[in-house]
Amino acid sequence: MTRVRTTSKGKLRRVARVAPPNPPKDKIKVLLLENVATTAVDAFKAEGLDVEFLKTSLPEAELKRKIADAHILGIRSKTQVTPAVLAEGKLLYER
């Protein structure tokens, strides 16, 4: 698994890291923002995952707080996922 980090000059770079252990399905948190299709919500719930579904985007500070314990993030075009936000998502899976 790799993570995105910023260099001292503000450029993005990938950094390798060890993947966290896979938690049980009911402990995997999915954060879906901006009114993502209900079929996605239903599919994740059918798999037994913990889904948090919000109809709006979030300001950066709130997104940082919410992403901290999320394993999966689903967004549309309004949400800005900055390197600072990604740095808070320590549990995010990479695909």
Q: Could you tell me if 23 and 71 are in contact, meaning their C-beta atoms sit under 8 angstroms apart?
A: yes
Amino acid symbol at 77? S
Amino acid symbol at 83? P
Looking at residues 24-42, what average pLDDT do you find? 93
* Residues 43-92 pLDDT 10s: 999 999 999 999 999 999 999 999 999 999 999 999 989 999 999 998 98
Q: With a cut of 80, say whether residue 27 has pLDDT above it.
A: yes
Q: With a cut of 90, say whether residue 1 has pLDDT above it.
A: no
**């037994």: which residue's tokens?**
48
Please tell me the distance from the alpha carbon of residue 34 to that of residue 27, in angstroms, as a whole number. Answer: 23
pLDDT at 73: 94
Maximum Cα–Cα distance across the chain: 44
For residue 81, how far is the Cα from the chain centroid? Answer: 9
Structure tokens at 46: 């059918």
